[in-house]
Structure 1
Amino acid sequence: MRRMMTAAAFWALTAGGAAAACGGDFNAFVADLRAEAQARGHDAATVQRFFAGVRQDPAVLRADRRQGVFQLPFTEFARRLISANRLNRGQQMAERHDITFDRIERDYGISRGVLLAFWAFETDYGAVQGDFNTRDALVTLAHDCRRPEIFRPQIFAAIELFSRGDFDPNRTTGAWAGEIGMVQMLPEDILEHGTDGDGDGHVRLKTSAPDALLSGASMLAGLGWRADEPWLQEVTLPQGFDWAQSGLEVTKDGTDWDAIGLRPRHGEIADLPASVILPQGKGGPAFLAYPNFRVYFEWNQSFTYVLTAAYFAKRLEGAPVFDAGNPAPGLSGEEMKALQRKLKARGYDVGGVDGILGANTRAAVREMQGKLGLPVDAWPTRDLLDRL
């Protein structure tokens, strides 16, 4: 799921006085949306046309609850998403759209592998953009009480796009969570960062690769991407490395990591703040994450997805296949949920009992490993679960 928590995300919870945030009768909820849209300045006719025929989509809710792929460990997840075909297609697309990528690198300082990786993972280079009605998906998720503060503002952004002639409430389709186009952007992000890359006077994220790529680059820049800086680098760790020095919570200058014996598998260590990340603990692959790596979390909050996208971007630019190492066996989805429940009972914020090893669960695991005298590498094992 792409970044959706914007500054306007909480507006719906306070605007319009007693606006219903979620739940209840669906028709009454839509009526409340209509009233709020008009209070925001949209004329009644536009609002009427936008919501005409809107329906609740149960398939959207099923998709929202079904995200088990993110329970996979990094090595397996990466092998599923990164194929020879995607690598070859990426090289072909880089050549085909060389002028656009040159412009992105010149204007934004974003290396072409970064956008290519997102393009590949989000829609297979535009081939699979999703067939959910975008308006219905957004209204359905805003009505659902799991994350209404995220989706409700997107409805009003879609109305604004509709008023400009850039959104068809009955025909615009995309992903189940309301993202549109080749690199899957939400309506608020399209309003802010949509870019006419091909010069036809329109922003067509579904059909124009230059529009989609430049819009994605603008969004990354807006999220804080630091121009012409690296984002990720695979490294080998020295003997006797202190595992407690790993994790995004620990940052050192690249020269300090070099001084203690970290060695890059490709290129040179940059003189920038960086963190050592071990997606599968001390026995698995090791990476050095630079400031730009953290920007990925503004696009997608899954640690596994973020790391895989960042690594694939490097592969597209010539980095070697990562050294998978020999990590300790991880936990199954149900075991991870059991671990999360145990951590939650001890007062840790694990971000929800979902069986996914996200950033919050990793932080809790690190702290508990330290308390129990285990290697502090943020990789939960059966031994940790048993001790709890």
Structure 2
Amino acid sequence: MLKRLAPLSALTLLLAAPAYAQASDDEFQQCIATLGDQAREAGLSESAIEKALSDVTRLERVISSDRSQPEFVQTFWQYLDQRVTDRRVERGRELLEEHEDLLWRIHADYGVRPQYLVALWGMETNFGGYFGDVPVIDALATLACDTRRSDFFRTQVVEAVRILDEGHMDREGMVGSWAGAMGHTQFMPSTFTAYAVDYDGSGRIDLWNSLPDAFASSANYLQSLGWVDGQRWGREVILPEGFDYALAAPDERRAVSEWRALGVLQTDGQRVPYSGVEAELMLPSGYQGPAFLVYENFRKIMRWNASTSYALAVGVLADRIAGAGDLAALPAEPPEAMRIDDVKALQEALNALGYDAGPVDGQPGPQTRQAIRGFQQDTGLPADGHPSPRVLEAVRARGDG
């Protein structure tokens, strides 16, 4: 039997690869035949396999989307401004009220509060406004028969055939993103088959046309990840003068009471509460931007989509939908974005100076940020671990010195 892959978000899958080659038409057809064999090994019916794979089209636009690389690393403010808009907050509040009874029933069953489900819905498809327009089977097969990430997408094809075989959706109705994410909250097929539920009692699971199914499936997924009901995702905070920014690191988790003792304030100027709940301090724009204490539920959002900007945006949007105001630390002017090539140059220069920034890939992940933090501590800069033009200039100057 084919082993099911652990469910992942579509955006989590965008991993860089050093080389690739596109399959020929003959190789593509052979790959489709192999996918059919894998579906048979998984115990799926011949009729479902035939419906899914008899007329698969390789989609060049999917390959193009998979290969596309941004020129800039989007700043946190750019990301937030595009996604947590006043209009989206207003619409989210309207929909929260409209579906209040349903959402609270789901909360009673799964322990996820309504504002989080509405926020995820808004982030993923703009409240169902756009699911994507790509045939899911074709998109998945295109990626499964490519040389990048083929193992993952081969499994996704099999799980998509399973969805057809179980009668949840027909092939024509399975449309989604270019990477095969589906429905109101953009589940990958493996997430669908593992966590989606028939909440409306129709006898099938429909994440495209049934909000009860879509909301309950999302809540079931979060619950399975260990979502803690009654605990917020995190909060914006104010740091005192002279604060040690090196404490904004994943290995510096400590109880909220300890952050209180360090002088961390709520945005109303009061100390954060006495609490034994563990929290991590995050500075998504560096020491000159907003600061957040994030809790365990933040990490569950990160399991949905492994992007700190995404998880912060979901939390902020959920708070605002529930009635909170805008963030306190709004920038006077937008911070400067870094080019991908500049991040690569920064990684290369840090590595040359003996700070292990990891692969030179243009992605400022935890290892790169730790290297930046080490350099900042050694040179007397605010040790926020944040990549910026100023840090690049300082690293280059040290390398030239």
Q: Which residue of 2 aligns with 1:49?
A: 51
Q: Structure 1: where are the runs of 5+ without partners?
A: 9-21
Match of 2:320 among 285, 293, 315: 315
Cα distance in 2 for partners of 1:77, 1:148 equals 29
- Please state if 1:286 is matched with 2:291: yes
| Displaced runs of 4 or more, over 6 A | none
Letter in 2 for 1:370: Q
- Please state if 1:324 is matched with 2:330: yes
By how many angstroms is 1:230 displaced? Answer: 1.3
Cα RMSD (Å) of the superposition? Answer: 2.7
Letter in 1 for 2:330: A
- The alpha-carbon distance between structure 1 residues 43 and 317, as it changes in their structure 2 partners (threshold 3 A), is closer
Q: Which residue of 2 aligns with 1:197?
A: 199
Q: Confirm or deny: 8 A CA contact 1:351 1:360 kept in the other structure.
A: no
Q: Which residue of 2 aligns with 1:164?
A: 166
Q: Confirm or deny: 8 A CA contact 2:284 2:290 kept in the other structure.
A: yes
- Please state if 1:375 is matched with 2:375: no
What pairs with 1:242-321 in structure 2 (closer than 5 Å)?
Answer: 242-265=244-267, 269=273, 270-321=275-326
Q: Confirm or deny: 8 A CA contact 2:72 2:338 kept in the other structure.
A: no
Q: Which moved more, 1:301-310 or 1:276-285?
A: 301-310
By how many angstroms is 1:363 displaced? Answer: 3.5
SS in 2 for 1:281: coil
Q: Normalising by the residue count of structure 2, what TM-score does the alignment of the two structures yield?
A: 0.84
Q: Confirm or deny: 8 A CA contact 2:49 2:161 kept in the other structure.
A: yes
Q: Normalising by the residue count of structure 1, what TM-score does the alignment of the two structures yield?
A: 0.87
Report sequence identity in percent.
Answer: 33
Deviations 1:113-135 (A, max 9, x none): 21111111111100101001001
Q: Confirm or deny: 8 A CA contact 2:286 2:386 kept in the other structure.
A: yes
Q: Confirm or deny: 8 A CA contact 1:51 1:169 kept in the other structure.
A: no
Cα distance in 1 for partners of 2:305, 2:358 equals 17
Q: Which moved more, 1:240-249 or 1:286-295?
A: 240-249
Cα distance in 2 for partners of 1:133, 1:204 equals 16
SS in 1 for 2:151: helix
Q: Which residue of 2 aligns with 1:17?
A: none
By how many angstroms is 1:5 displaced? Answer: 6.2
Q: Which residue of 2 aligns with 1:18?
A: none
Cα distance in 1 for partners of 2:71, 2:208 equals 25
- Please state if 1:339 is matched with 2:346: yes
By how many angstroms is 1:324 displaced? Answer: 2.5
Cα distance in 1 for partners of 2:216, 2:141 equals 28
SS in 1 for 2:236: strand
Cα distance in 2 for partners of 1:158, 1:364 equals 41
What pairs with 1:1-388 in structure 2 (closer than 5 Å)?
Answer: 6=6, 25-66=27-68, 68=70, 71-265=73-267, 269=273, 270-322=275-327, 323-325=329-331, 329-343=336-350, 348=356, 350=358, 353=361, 355-386=362-393, 387-388=395-396
By how many angstroms is 1:250 displaced? Answer: 1.3
Q: Confirm or deny: 8 A CA contact 1:141 1:147 kept in the other structure.
A: yes
Q: Confirm or deny: 8 A CA contact 2:7 2:191 kept in the other structure.
A: no
Q: Confirm or deny: 8 A CA contact 1:343 1:350 kept in the other structure.
A: no
Q: Structure 2: where are the runs of 5+ without partners?
A: 9-21, 397-401
SS in 1 for 2:252: coil
By how many angstroms is 1:343 displaced? Answer: 4.7
Q: Confirm or deny: 8 A CA contact 1:70 1:305 kept in the other structure.
A: no
Cα distance in 2 for partners of 1:150, 1:7 equals 10
Q: Which moved more, 1:250-259 or 1:71-80?
A: 71-80
Cα distance in 2 for partners of 1:117, 1:253 equals 27
Cα distance in 1 for partners of 2:178, 2:189 equals 13
By how many angstroms is 1:282 displaced? Answer: 0.7
- The alpha-carbon distance between structure 1 residues 318 and 218, as it changes in their structure 2 partners (threshold 3 A), is same
SS in 2 for 1:201: coil
Cα distance in 2 for partners of 1:314, 1:97 equals 17
- The alpha-carbon distance between structure 1 residues 43 and 80, as it changes in their structure 2 partners (threshold 3 A), is closer
